[in-house]
Structure 1
Amino acid sequence: MSRFGYSIFCDDIRNEVGGKLSFIGCYSSVIIVTQKFPLALPKFCIHGFVVTGADEPFRSVSIRCYVPWQQAPILDEKIEVPHIPAQRAMVAELESNVSAPRQIVASASLVLSPFELAGPGLIRVRAVVDGAAEEVGLGALQILAQQGR
């Protein structure tokens, strides 16, 4: 199994009772901006997930966020992952009669407040796993300027 991931883009992430997360104001694939650039959103959140097979536990994971108006990532957040023996022990505790693939998931919430939008383009989220040069794609969100009527 190769590693993969995905992201949820939203206005806010709230921690709920029982360890649940609520994602408020989720974007599907596009942010349509009606004001002139540059502008600032009061808050912008990304929750990224990285998935690996149980036979390839994580040594290290960090999530990066790229915006089109800057070369370097605007965020590079390290995710604390359990040591490899602990990851293997968690997978071993899963029910053996389930036919679903055994996977390990690492996730993190990224909060940008305020979030400066310099112009249209693509917000990209990537993960660096085990220090590899290749990044794992976790999704993207298009920023579009609404055309005048």
Structure 2
Amino acid sequence: MTDQAYVMREAPELFGRTIFAEDARFEVSGQFTLVGVIPTAGIDLAEFPSVIPKLAMMIEFQQRPDVEADDVRIAVFMPGAGTEEPAFDHTITKDEWLKEGVGFGAIEHNSPYPSPLVRRVTQVVVTSNLEIKRPGMIQVRAFRRREVIGLGALRVIPTSEKQV
């Protein structure tokens, strides 16, 4: 390391991620286990259209508490689908964001680079018999006000294009 000081960046207003897996198991304690996490290289299918027996998505999104809470719509789009054709979607209302205990807080520790204070919501979605009509990207997006925020994507490619 150098003698130069680092500056901690402020978290974006709304941000998140999606982890894709083959399945999810839900525990009595409220925790879950993702089974068969799919690498960022994506999945390859022998033919199109094709059916994926199961696909799990852990969708996590976070918002800074200094930003006014608003409804956030989460949508998942299949390869080739238009912006008005989500495979499924769900809206987290402003009231849900503001509920006490909805993942609100920061990790307090004696670090020179502390975690930011955020509101956090995690949803686990498990699909079955998901039809994939063509190669492309399965995209997870958040819609808030007039903004679209990317929460992740999974590449779907023909087996013939798989790189070795």
TM over 0.5: yes
Contact 1:59 1:84 in 2 (8 A): no
For structure 2, the residue ranges without an aligned partner over 5 or more in a row are 1-10
| 1:1-149 aligned within 5 A | 1-2=11-12, 3-29=14-40, 30-33=42-45, 35-56=46-67, 58-71=69-82, 72-79=85-92, 82=96, 84=98, 86=100, 90-91=104-105, 99-129=114-144, 132-147=145-160
Aligned-pair RMSD on alpha carbons?
Answer: 2.6
Q: Name the amino acid aligned to 1:32.
A: D
Q: Distance in 1 between matches of 2:53 and 2:99?
A: 41
Q: Scaled by the length of structure 1, what TM-score is found?
A: 0.81
Q: Scaled by the length of structure 2, what TM-score is found?
A: 0.75
Moved more, 13-22 or 116-125: 13-22
For structure 1, the residue ranges without an aligned partner over 5 or more in a row are none
Label 1:58 to 1:11 Cα distance change in 2 as closer, same or farther (>3 A).
farther
Label 1:114 to 1:18 Cα distance change in 2 as closer, same or farther (>3 A).
same
Question: Deviation digits for residues 32-55 of structure 1, max 9, x if unmatched?
Answer: 11x221111111121111111121
Question: Deviation digits for residues 67-115 of structure 1, max 9, x if unmatched?
Answer: 1232111111123663537369x549x7597732111111212222110
Q: What SS class does the counterpart of residue 107 from structure 1 fall into?
A: strand
Q: What SS class does the counterpart of residue 29 from structure 2 fall into?
A: helix
